[in-house]
Amino acid sequence: MKELREAFERALAEPGAIDAAIEVAQAFLAAHERHPVTMAYMGSLAGLKASAATLPWVKLGYANDAAALLDAAYERRHEIAGAATDGEPEGELVILLLRGIAYANFPPFLGRAEAARECLEQATRHFALCGIPAVYRTLAFSHLAGLHRHALDPEIKSQAS
């Protein structure tokens, strides 16, 4: 799991490293079939591929792949609740953050803002939140604030429609 997290971090910093991170995640999934945390990482990586793609239909394909993986991981998150993975923060928190942040970055017309807000709100109440790096806590709260602002501001809502 540590290797996957490190590959994911590289992919966040350098778009050219996304494919290598996907390979690491696929190898982990081959050994641990349907592992929810790995599925969430794969979904987030597919979201990064969508962001990096230039053709609209390719972007949409990756976004759909990302959503399927993130939703499957979210549905299975309780299978790993209470069990830390290789020194990682609580697996459920990782899933909530990956799904929430990925969906917060989806364009409004894909309709994932409510799921993003729900995940990020759950993450902010999670007992393991204080144990993760401050940069990720800040990222979660900033996305959550943006989602609430969009939900409450009628002018922003009309621009998104």
Amino acid at 161: S
Domain parsing of the chain, residue ranges:
2-160
* 121, 151 Cβ separation under 8 angstroms: no
Report residue 15 as tokens: 């778009």
pLDDT, tens digit only, all 161 positions of the chain: 889 999 999 999 998 999 999 999 999 989 888 899 999 999 999 999 999 999 999 999 999 999 999 999 999 887 775 444 554 557 899 999 999 999 999 998 999 999 999 999 999 999 989 988 899 899 999 999 999 888 777 665 555 55
What are the start-end ranges of the H helices in 34-153?
A: 36-52, 56-75, 91-104, 113-124, 134-152
State the pLDDT at residue 84.
Answer: 43
Say which CATH architecture domain 2-160 belongs to: Alpha Horseshoe (1.25)
* 100, 143 Cβ separation under 8 angstroms: yes
Give the three-class secondary structure for 48: helix
State the pLDDT at residue 44.
Answer: 96
State the pLDDT at residue 81.
Answer: 53
Looking from the CA of 142 toward its CB, the CA atoms found within 13 Å total: 7
* 144, 114 Cβ separation under 8 angstroms: no
* 17, 8 Cβ separation under 8 angstroms: no
**Look-up of token digits 């979904």:** 43
